[in-house]
Structure 1
């Protein structure tokens, strides 16, 4: 871990959006105020006016030189007396603020320190260790965890031929920003922000900014870029709860004192499409969840079997994610995934082609688990490729209906080269493979071999690793933490075609008449089949040595049990009485926890006779 910032001034919130207010320089709560130099050769990037360069702030412009940070080994961490200040806040810093991933900040009444880590897991572990140092009794007290999940999707009725971005402010402090996008039909961001460990929040505001034109000379730049074009205030009551709420929010034009505002810069219907949810989750002391944790650990197979027919697709996704995190913390995630995979094979029988292709708890659970333990592997394998592709201007369109005949041959060549790069990065294992996945895959292979169905074991691995993880990450890299911006149309098309090829390779399937324009890739597929078979055997053979790494992140067990409890109560309490009674003792165990949450918390109605049996 590296110390990025050491700030000896108290953090101050941004006051953008207040009537007549200007945009102060410390809008990010001090995180960027004293970033020092590390790489002098870094190119200039678009930055907020919170930034500072070696000669200070350049007034009258939102551009303040390149963002460069210092990376020093953490030596001062031991000098932080976290237990002495009850106001200490320890939270992640979104990568859009610093331009660096996996940062967190420690804020107390006197100063702010910001640290950078090498992975999300390492960052989460440090955050937990420091929070525990600040509050040693953390697991034995009641606490509230606030989180915001936010999709900034698109904008409409903005002036054309411009680039825009949004900033997400909570109670006046900048927490995240979108990338800069040009107006299209419509202006589309499609960017997701997940903000955890939040303080108490009373106001959520999105500010819309016009990006400055880099071609303009600095002295001629428009003063209006110092202020937002307009803002959207999201009422907290509208998005509180477990369910996402989505709507178009009108943009209120910014009005500086003594002016008529920015109405001439915005259309009459200017608005942002936002999808969001804000949760205040009460987390009880760990002892309150003891019986619940024991039940989940011992009876997860029966619980999943009983609940699955009652669940919507979204509920399956949420339940699988909650179970994966709880069982990972308890040390039972491997057994959970092995059991679900085995049950999936048994359920499908001879329809093995459907393995991990349906919306089952097993499918959703392996999705969540690979994201949890495989993030570093994913970045090591695909990170450089995605970065290169986002900056490339090469065209890989090979459908004759969508590109000129004169460009087809070159485009086919580019697509082959792109796919070759991805295949080599995957099969040559450019980074350590997740040890947890290796154990699960090898267990699946052994189970299938014992049943005389060895070929099904390879299909399980191919379907999980490629169909559910690597290929979706290629297709939608922003959803897997590989980048933030949604790809431009040309890049998106290249990602789509590449994912098609890699999926066919993992399925050992050639392109057919339905996608005639891809037939030229069949020779490429056949050339790499042996390499793919070797890779699948390598990552699933218990006797094969490969570089591996184990998950070193932290799962907050009381928090995850609170999430699972709330989810199960929401699912079960609306069911008919007969269904509820058949699920016992789970409803009774959930109600015991609910008693500690207060009279407002929903309770599951249980038949008296069933409740008596549970108490006995």
Structure 2
């Protein structure tokens, strides 16, 4: 049994943002923070007050998280980036809307007294006789993960304790976000005060300016009377929010957020549901009568269809039945559709499932196919425009020293460039038949054959090709060309000039995928110069599809696919700056050196170049923690540490400096997932470094001190290359089926009755038994979840009673 919280975040767009640059515009990007820890940075959209990002993420978060905040920033090359505003959503607000939040949300200004974070360790006691306590004692032990208020990347915190009109202050701990005080303060207890409050505030001391607020905790003393003592870590809260004078004037963000709080049962609980789904696929291929897959197809809605499709694709991939599952959906779609021109163009379950399948099983293929041409376009940054209404001669430049280019010159040059890009891309597509994954080949083969059998007439001879290209080109290759960042082909969005080139190339690929140049050229006549290249591309694409659907599981192709899967087991690789320390302090000002780092299924290895022998490595089972490092340690906010133990049990630390917050969190996530089954993990760690005979974070002098902050093993980003989790997918499918159980029942009996009337026969008892079995399985899973929740409730109640006594 495991608890899994997944937060889906889609940052769609912004509007009405304020002007931050002298050009009369802004360069906005977003930072996403979970409890004030930055985990995502979107791309910068240059020179706009209405940016479109369209970026989406799935983040695995611990059950204890409190809120998610999105900060909109304006990027500046010469000075620090400006803060435009933020949107903050609490966990409670997300929990009460299981369907998720979707809409425009106003940005609010940043109030320093609300920008608090961290926890404080306190012990609150009532002293005196057990019946009549006379004094209140507050023992301030330590704090962790406080906000950084000073330019040195730390704070100078002290504690102010208030009760009954009296105030005590602790000593100031200089340059630390992990201070330790271990001081006690006593107050005379006033029994006449009803609901009297003890206030514990944390402040950052400043010599010149006013002190900065770091957070506070409030205790009701009357409620403490029965317990006599309370001790633990308490989350620091903000001060009272102030009324914003900028309310509604900072613009807004269009967001989609959804929190999934899943309790995943042991595998044995999901086995009956998985078996029934697999049986449904096999039975449908043999019998063609209303079954579970057909019912899921009939009862999914546009709001949940993509999620259901992704869950089913991953489940059947894990069961080795993905080809059969997709074939059932192809068959269902073809039975419903009599118009070949609209085949697989709607957002049906078949279309969404095939789309998810391509992303899960074909991303590595897509990267190999498109990587070179996308990189070439980004590096060349050529001005390309075919539409005479959009040609800007000043952007195009000169043909020589004295003559400006004419509009005809620009269009001619653009046509030549686009034909060059298109020729390179089509050549790459033709060559990719040799390394296209076997599963993709077989799925396209099934689709091609099903469509050919459904529309055998000569006038429909192109339909079987268009069915394949509707997925391969229109839903996979073309969207990746238009938005390479969203398919992980580039780290940043393209600038305006490169984006236009990518759009025109994607249009050409779409036209080739539609296999009809006349329609495109009639709608957009300025595409006519590309017509010869497009016609050649159509012939090449037909040749490619013919090769693709002629594949068989030959020995060569099987070996090729196995090699591809072996490459796919590599989790992550790339150049990073590394520094390794063992029994020594960090003395050098710049200790990092560039290495090529590779994370495979059993080790993390690194060498000076990409192709040299990996002579240094860390065995993944030896890793005890993977955590961030404080910015003040190395002057960079994107440094992480890998804490491991050698064969003798001695602790070693490897520091990695990443280029951006995204790269940092991708490496953190990949390593945490790779080490998720490690048993010797640390519960706390030092976010600082050991330098000058003490830890920079908490100032402790003992090098073997266990640590001043808790580790965060559970925070990871969901990526397309993540390993399959059959139990989680089965749980998500169970949850969906439970939500549509009544609709599914009504639809099932409607289909059964319709089939019986058509055949003038009685209902087949096997069919009725199938739906009865499904509902029994759903009830059993519901009972298992209920029993587990009751067990958790009793456990928590017993823990509370123990604390009371």
Residue 385, structure 1, aligned to residue 368, structure 2: no
Superposition TM-score, scaled by structure 2 size: 0.51
Change (3 A) 1:304 1:315: farther
Residue 333, structure 1, aligned to residue 322, structure 2: yes
The residue number in structure 1 matching 2:312 is 323
The residue number in structure 1 matching 2:428 is 425
Of residues 591-600 and 552-561 in structure 1, the stretch that sits farther from structure 2 once superposed is 591-600
The residue number in structure 1 matching 2:497 is 490
State the shift of 1:202 in Å.
1.3
CA contact under 8 A between 2:334 and 2:454: conserved in structure 1? no
CA distance in 1, matches of 2:378, 2:303: 31
The residue number in structure 2 matching 1:181 is 45
CA distance in 1, matches of 2:533, 2:492: 30
Residue 282, structure 1, aligned to residue 285, structure 2: no
Change (3 A) 1:385 1:354: same
The residue number in structure 2 matching 1:505 is 512
CA contact under 8 A between 2:444 and 2:548: conserved in structure 1? yes
The residue number in structure 2 matching 1:154 is 14
The residue number in structure 2 matching 1:403 is 391
Give deviations 1:83-114, integer Å, cap 9, x for gaps. Answer: xxxxxxxxxxxxxxxxxxxxxxxxxxxxxxxx
State the shift of 1:513 in Å.
1.9
Of residues 275-284 and 173-182 in structure 1, the stretch that sits farther from structure 2 once superposed is 173-182
Structure 1 gaps, min length 5: 1-140, 602-616
The residue number in structure 2 matching 1:557 is 726
Give deviations 1:209-248, integer Å, cap 9, x for gaps. Answer: 44342xx4xxxx45xx5x8565432122233324343331
Give deviations 1:286-337, integer Å, cap 9, x for gaps. Answer: 1111111111111145223223333322333222211111111111111111
State the shift of 1:285 in Å.
1.0
CA distance in 2, matches of 1:585, 1:297: 14
> Please, which of 237, 240, 253 is the counterpart of residue 110 of structure 2?
253
The residue number in structure 1 matching 2:358 is 370
The residue number in structure 1 matching 2:549 is 540
CA contact under 8 A between 2:387 and 2:526: conserved in structure 1? yes
CA distance in 1, matches of 2:454, 2:107: 60
Give deviations 1:330-367, integer Å, cap 9, x for gaps. Answer: 11111111232234334435x32322112221111111
CA distance in 2, matches of 1:176, 1:527: 42
CA distance in 1, matches of 2:349, 2:337: 14
> Please, which of 584, 595, 599 is the counterpart of residue 783 of structure 2?
595
Superposition TM-score, scaled by structure 1 size: 0.65
Change (3 A) 1:562 1:340: same
The residue number in structure 1 matching 2:87 is 232
State the shift of 1:536 in Å.
0.9
CA contact under 8 A between 1:229 and 1:265: conserved in structure 2? no
State the shift of 1:392 in Å.
4.2
Could you list the runs of 4 or more consecutive aligned residues of structure 1 that deviate by over 6 angstroms after TM superposition?
263-267, 449-452
> Is the partner of 1:246 in helix, strand or coil?
strand
CA distance in 1, matches of 2:334, 2:13: 38
Change (3 A) 1:150 1:353: closer
> Please, which of 243, 246, 254 is the counterpart of residue 100 of structure 2?
243
CA contact under 8 A between 2:18 and 2:84: conserved in structure 1? no
State the shift of 1:283 in Å.
0.9
Select the structure of larger CA radius of gyration: 2
Change (3 A) 1:265 1:409: farther
State the shift of 1:276 in Å.
1.4
Q: Select the structure that is richer in strand.
A: 2
> Is the partner of 2:740 in helix, strand or coil?
helix
Change (3 A) 1:568 1:236: same
> Is the partner of 1:232 in helix, strand or coil?
strand
Structure 2 gaps, min length 5: 113-148, 150-208, 213-241, 285-290, 393-406, 570-720, 751-770, 790-805
CA distance in 1, matches of 2:731, 2:775: 15
> Please, which of 510, 516, 525 is the counterpart of residue 516 of structure 1?
525
Give deviations 1:576-598, integer Å, cap 9, x for gaps. Answer: 97447665443332222122222
Change (3 A) 1:421 1:292: same
> Is the partner of 2:304 in helix, strand or coil?
helix
CA contact under 8 A between 1:304 and 1:361: conserved in structure 2? no
CA distance in 2, matches of 1:467, 1:189: 20
Change (3 A) 1:359 1:184: same
CA contact under 8 A between 1:203 and 1:234: conserved in structure 2? yes
CA contact under 8 A between 1:231 and 1:254: conserved in structure 2? no
CA contact under 8 A between 2:86 and 2:108: conserved in structure 1? yes
State the shift of 1:398 in Å.
0.8
Of residues 278-287 and 241-250 in structure 1, the stretch that sits farther from structure 2 once superposed is 241-250
CA distance in 2, matches of 1:484, 1:411: 26
CA distance in 1, matches of 2:421, 2:333: 34
State the shift of 1:380 in Å.
0.8
State the shift of 1:409 in Å.
1.9
The residue number in structure 2 matching 1:308 is 297
State the shift of 1:523 in Å.
1.0
Matched ranges for 1:459-470 at <5 A:
459-470=466-477
> Is the partner of 2:432 in helix, strand or coil?
coil
CA distance in 1, matches of 2:784, 2:47: 51
CA distance in 2, matches of 1:468, 1:385: 18
Q: Select the structure that is richer in helix.
A: 1
State the shift of 1:199 in Å.
5.7
> Please, which of 10, 32, 35 is the counterpart of residue 168 of structure 1?
32
